[in-house]
Amino acid sequence: MVNMLERPPVRAVRETKAVGRRTAARLTLPTLLTLTAIVTIVPFAAMVMVAFAPPSGRTFPDALNPANFTLDNFSRVLSSSDIPRWTVNSLLYSLVSVVCVLLFASMAGYAFAKKKFPGREIMFWAFLATLMVPFQATLIPSYILVSRFDWVDSYWGLIVPTLANSQAVFLMRQFIMQLPDELFEAAEIDGASEWRIFTTIVVPLIRPVLATLGIFVFLWHWNDFLWPLVIGQSGKMQTLTVGLATLQTQAVPINQVMAGATITVVPSLLVFGLLQRYLTDSIAMSGLKA
């Protein structure tokens, strides 16, 4: 216990100490933050540097010299591999899925949120329950099913099974539930058809959540690996992620692999650059996981 008489000086000392500590903290934390950020960025920077480095010689220190930068690796990897075809596959896989998932999930979400029909509750909980089952656990039956449809190694097999996205339905339902019922009832009284109510009232109102979900569905598909690996068995049906993985198991020089890697990351970076705030805010709010 501190003596009453000693108290003021002690407090004064403590305060100057605290001020000192605070200035130290003011410098330490931003420094720490900057260092962590640099470490986070280094793998990307290294990837790009190696991709532009001259194909012969050691990657280091050659990769560090900007005077040697060349586009050789890009032109070689583009001509020796199927990257253009893989890109088309990845784009088809991602974009078709985005359109279909957004349409079907918003329709289903609207029905679950605002319509009454027999079996609604059971259906909804069944949707939710399957979320607990990891996709890998159903990989084999999904594959057998697709092979029964004769869809292996086709766009149908690649895309259609991945459209059954319960997470998207759930998100849509949560969002549409918050819209006031009066909006729909007023339109109904005016004699609008159900489809018209959906397209002219519901869709414009849910545009922000459609945008967010669209970004996520795009990233899920663009970055997906296991399903395209299993379904796209011929080289022609591979996506960019699968192609990249096969590139580096073959005897392709590392500079070219990195050039390929740089190409695959461009769309993700574009999405990220344009919509970063959207993406980060929606994770914080909904816990949506790509």
Partner 1 sequence: MPGTGRAGPVPGQPAQSVAAGDTSPDHRRFGSRLHSAFSRSASPAGRGGPRRRPWVGLLFVAPMLLLFLVFRFLPVVGAFLLSLTDYRLSGKWDFIALDNYTRLLSDSVFHQALLVTVTYTVIFVPLTVLLSLGTAVLLHQVVWKRGFFRGVFFLPYVTSIVLAAVIWKWIYDAQDGLLNAVLGLVDIGPIDFLTQSGTVLPSIAVTSAWKGFGYSMLILLAGLQAVPKSYLEAAMIDGAGTWQRFRYVTLPQLRPVLFFVLVIETIGAFQVFDAMYVMTGGGPVRSSYSLVYFLYDSGFKYFDFGYASAIGLVLFLIVLIVSLVQRRLVGRDD
Q: Which 107-146 residues touch partner 1, going by CB under 8 A?
A: 107-108, 110-112, 114-118, 120, 123, 126-128, 130-145
Considering only residues 62 to 101 of the shown chain, the ones binding partner 1 according to CB under 8 A are none
Using the minimum distance from each CB to partner 1, give the nearer residue, 83 or 244.
244
Please name the residues in contact with 264: beta carbons below 8 A apart, sequence gap of 6 or more.
Answer: 90, 240, 241, 244
Cα 235 to Cα 264: distance, rounded to the nearest angstrom: 17
Considering only residues 16 to 45 of the shown chain, the ones binding partner 1 according to CB under 8 A are 25, 29-30, 32-33, 36-37, 40-44
Q: Pick the piece of the chain touching partner 1 (CB under 8 A) from 65-73, 78-86, 203-211, 269-277.
A: 269-277
Cα 252 to Cα 80: distance, rounded to the nearest angstrom: 9
Least gap, CB of 46 to partner 1 (angstroms) = 5
User: Which residue from 77, 169, 210, 259 is in contact with partner 1, where contact means CB under 8 A?
Assistant: 169
Please name the residues in contact with 90: beta carbons below 8 A apart, sequence gap of 6 or more.
Answer: 221, 222, 239, 240, 241, 264, 267
Using the minimum distance from each CB to partner 1, give the nearer residue, 48 or 85.
48
Q: Is 154 in the site for partner 1 (CB under 8 A)?
A: no
Q: Is 160 in the site for partner 1 (CB under 8 A)?
A: yes
Q: Is 283 in the site for partner 1 (CB under 8 A)?
A: yes
Q: Is 182 in the site for partner 1 (CB under 8 A)?
A: yes
Cα 48 to Cα 26: distance, rounded to the nearest angstrom: 33
Least gap, CB of 138 to partner 1 (angstroms) = 4
Using the minimum distance from each CB to partner 1, give the nearer residue, 68 or 188.
188
Please name the residues in contact with 143: beta carbons below 8 A apart, sequence gap of 6 or more.
Answer: 152, 230, 231
Q: Is 170 in the site for partner 1 (CB under 8 A)?
A: yes
Are 201 and 184 spatial neighbours (Cβ–Cβ below 8 Å)? yes
For residue 267 the two structure tokens come to 């769309």
For residue 176 the two structure tokens come to 């549409």
Q: Is 175 in the site for partner 1 (CB under 8 A)?
A: no
User: Which residue from 83, 168, 187, 237 is in contact with partner 1, where contact means CB under 8 A?
Assistant: 168
User: Which residue from 188, 208, 211, 235 is in contact with partner 1, where contact means CB under 8 A?
Assistant: 188
Q: Is 104 in the site for partner 1 (CB under 8 A)?
A: yes
String marking each residue 205-224 x if it binds partner 1 according to CB under 8 A:
-----------xx-xxxxxx
Cα 248 to Cα 142: distance, rounded to the nearest angstrom: 28
Sign of CA dihedral 163, 248, 262, 80: negative
Cα 243 to Cα 260: distance, rounded to the nearest angstrom: 9
As a whole number of Å, the end-to-end CA separation of the chain is 55
Q: Pick the piece of the chain touching partner 1 (CB under 8 A) from 70-78, 81-89, 173-181, 204-212.
A: 173-181
Considering only residues 234 to 263 of the shown chain, the ones binding partner 1 according to CB under 8 A are 241-242, 244-245, 248-249, 254, 257-258, 261
CA angle 66, 261, 90 (to 5 degrees): 145
